[in-house]
Amino acid sequence: MKASKPETIKHYAVCPHDCPSTCALEVEKKDANTIGRVHGSKRNSYTAGVICAKVARYAERVHHPERLSVPMRRTGPRGQGLSSFTPISWDEALQEIATRFTQITAEFGAQAIWPYFYAGTMGWCQLAATHRLRYAMGYSRQKETICVGISNAGWQAGVGTKRGVDARELSHSEVIVVWGGNPVHTQINVMTHIQQAARRGAKLVVVDPYRTPTAAKADLHLMLRPGTDGALACAVMHQLLKEGYADHAYLEKYTDFTPEVAEHLASKTPSWAAEITGLSCEQIIEFARLYGGTQRSYIRLGYGMSRSRNGASNMHAVSCLPAITGAWQVEGGGALYGHGDIYKGIDKDLLQGKSLATHATRELDMSRIGPVLTGNQDDLGDGPPVKALFIQNTNPMVVAPDLNKVHQGFKRDDLFIVVHEQMMTETAAMADILLPATTFLEHDDLYTASGHTHVQVSKAIIPPQGDSRSNHDVVCALAQLLGHERSTLFTHSSMELLNQALKHSSLPSAEEIHAQEGIDLAESFADAHFLNGFGHADGRFHFFADWQSLGDAEGKLPVLPDHAELIEAADCDHPFRLVTAPARTFLNTSFSETPGSVKKEKRPTAFIHPNDCAEQSINEGDLVTLGNSLGQVTLWAKPFDGVQPGVIIVEGLWPNAAFAEGVGINALVSAEPALPRGGAVFHDAKIWLRKKQAL
């Protein structure tokens, strides 16, 4: 008889990556130090047993042969990788950081040090660790604009609070609109719920400038020009009002809709929008009729439409649609952008250590790290130049806009750079002191979500790999060496800290949340559907956007939904518009080091319309250069008919080194802050295209 295979033990965990899905995981453990496959938990009703391929093979990342395992001092040139570094002890590394930070503070003031982070992990204890050090030491603050700055403002303008209808209600929807997102790549779980609805006959509409794998599954794909969503939304509203699909009783009771809004929309005809979006009038009308034909219409808003200079206005315009038809009132109707505000009970200020601040410090815009590091006085304000960076959870040498300036800044000899990382990223390679970081499988943390409503706690499953330490541990040790008084924020363990933050909420302890594999904080039907009022003081949905209160001091954004002509329009010298969309098997730059993902993504590729290719005899695999006033990028071409002529798509945040001339795609993206309060315009660039050479 064959001996039965011993059952692999699976451990509950939570995916820490910057992804709206925040999946509940089951991690196979092979031995005390090693994990096997990772699965989606079936016990979480949103994850529903499904996760993305890149996290399913997480063993590739956590046990990567090039995972950083010891602290190192740079002894060779910047940017050369491991050969430039010499291992040192943790004591030496931390002492050197403390000494340099103390010297810089004495000479230039504490604000010359800029702790810089983003959401490499979304866990609250480890993510907010950088802030705890910042506030304790009076270092410069960081304006967090790189991802949701624009979209938050756009959603806030209409709805007034960051929450929406539960995506599990998709099973009741008859029309589902994925607008400016590509969930097949960026949050696979949305597709699980959409596919269930589709099996029952629900129709899927996708609004995206190119035929993404999500769009390929749609009943109707509206392949508009980037940055023109405001025009499309207005024309749809025009048609809904014209053809009697508007719910006037709803508008009267729940919104600030007036005859002035109706009059404004009366001029926003499908032919007006067709001119701007590049769609046909027929497509726009077909969409309006489909959308208006049922109140069970659900819009899942992605970030894509917001990453333009007019992005906030686009978000606002799209969020107006369910208010016109009254879709918010019914099960399976309404919209979701993100659920952040349902977690207000958790004391994030405590975790960020805001109470440690003894005085206000200047705030530097993270999306403008290039201009900041190269000494732009408007960015630095009346503070000193940045003389030291302390980086956790992010890879700005690749992900930040105006990349040539970022590179120039990182090369400064007088800039002391500390990077705490899991991998030898291109940012890590610039460090003077490089510290190895744990992954979520090696530390404890609490996770909220944006695409669903659970709060979850994940605990270490394997010990720290090599000599790696968590963000919290590093920050605690540094605070002590820098002479900060012994606040519990620097003496508590991660779990103790999380319990402190949970204490004043109505939630149980971190241990109990972990034991229950998460707690669902879904709101009542009436609250989730805003039947008890929207987030504004008057309880109404706002067609009239108060951009001034959101930071647009000059009032450049249109008050009523419209097409704001703020985008970088193509011109004779730059006849193309560029969209830099997310790749399926990378997560920003994370996983761009794993063999499984690189094999799938192949190489940096420009998707170009066949007509545009024909003009320059560009064939598949030819090298092409894309350029504008900010820089040039050389990569491989792919003729692709799922995009309008004049629009070029480049997927994925590949390392600079993967491009033919060693500079990555963000060299073409401007660091100009979007209205109303800053944000990076990753999908808003005019460029030229030149064939380089045939391979």
Ligand X SMILES: Nc1nc2c(c(=O)[nH]1)N[C@H]1C(S)=C(S)[C@@H](COP(=O)(O)OP(=O)(O)OC[C@H]3O[C@@H](n4cnc5c(=O)[nH]c(N)nc54)[C@H](O)[C@@H]3O)O[C@H]1N2
Q: Looking at residues 54 to 93 of the shown chain, list those that interact with ligand X (rule: CB under 6 A).
A: none
Minimal distance, residue 147 CB to Mo ion, in Å: 3
Minimal distance, residue 536 CB to ligand SF4, in Å: 31
Strand partners, 203: 175
Binding flag, residue 118, ligand X (CB under 6 A): yes
- Chain-centroid distance, C-alpha 382: 30
Whether the CB-CB separation of 164 and 336 falls below 8 Å is answered with: yes
> Considering just the CA atoms, what is the radius of gyration of the chain in Å?
25
Q: What burial class does residue 1 get, using C-beta atoms within 10 Å of its C-beta: 0-12 exposed, 13-18 middle, 19+ buried?
A: exposed
Angle at 385 (CA atoms; ends 379, 387), nearest 5 degrees:
130
Q: Which of 437, 630, 647, 658 binds ligand X (CB under 6 A)?
A: 437
Binding flag, residue 22, ligand X (CB under 6 A): no
Q: Looking at residues 305 to 324 of the shown chain, list those that interact with ligand X (rule: CB under 6 A).
A: 305, 307-308
Nearer Cβ to Mo ion, position 113 or 674?
Answer: 674
Residue the block writes with tokens 């206000």: 360
d(CA 563, CA 225): 12
Binding flag, residue 147, Mo ion (CB under 5 A): yes
Q: Which of 311, 1, 259 is nearest to 155 (CA)?
A: 311
Minimal distance, residue 125 CB to Mo ion, in Å: 20
Minimal distance, residue 22 CB to ligand SF4, in Å: 5
Binding flag, residue 208, ligand X (CB under 6 A): yes
Nearer Cβ to ligand SF4, position 51 or 198?
Answer: 51
Q: Looking at residues 451 to 490 of the shown chain, list those that interact with ligand X (rule: CB under 6 A).
A: 471
Q: Pick the stretch among 12-20, 158-166, 306-314, 515-523 that binds ligand SF4 (CB under 6 A).
A: 12-20
Binding flag, residue 52, ligand SF4 (CB under 6 A): yes
Q: Which of 364, 313, 301, 391 is nearest to 337 (CA)?
A: 301
Binding flag, residue 557, ligand X (CB under 6 A): no
What are the backbone angles phi and psi of residue 388, rounded to the nearest 5°? -145, 140
- DSSP 3-state assignment of 454? strand
Residue 338 in tokens = 């993100």
Q: Which of 229, 562, 601, 612 binds ligand X (CB under 6 A)?
A: 229
The residue number with the shortest CB distance to ligand X is: 304
Q: Looking at residues 576 to 595 of the shown chain, list those that interact with ligand SF4 (rule: CB under 6 A).
A: 587
Binding flag, residue 188, ligand SF4 (CB under 6 A): yes
Contacts with ligand X by CB under 6 A: the residue count is: 59
What are the backbone angles phi and psi of residue 215, rounded to the nearest 5°? -65, -35
What are the backbone angles phi and psi of residue 57, rounded to the nearest 5°? -105, 45
Q: Which of 158, 209, 270, 383 binds ligand X (CB under 6 A)?
A: 209
Binding flag, residue 22, ligand SF4 (CB under 6 A): yes
Nearer Cβ to ligand SF4, position 59 or 265?
Answer: 59
**Torsion 286-289-294-297 (CA) sign:** positive
The residue number with the shortest CB distance to Mo ion is: 147
Whether the CB-CB separation of 384 and 111 falls below 8 Å is answered with: yes
Question: In what side-by-side order are the strands of the sheet with 24-31?
Answer: 9-14, 24-31, 34-40
d(CA 682, CA 146): 9
Minimal distance, residue 541 CB to ligand SF4, in Å: 30
d(CA 349, CA 58): 32
Which residues are at the interface with ligand X (CB under 6 A)? 18-19, 118-121, 126, 146-147, 179-182, 185-187, 207-210, 212, 226-227, 229, 302-305, 307-308, 392-395, 399, 420-423, 425, 437, 471, 579-584, 586-590, 653, 665-666, 669, 682-683
Residues lying near Mo ion in the complex (CB under 5 A) are found at 147
User: Applying CB under 6 A, which residues contact ligand SF4?
Assistant: 15, 17, 19, 21-23, 51-52, 55, 187-188, 587
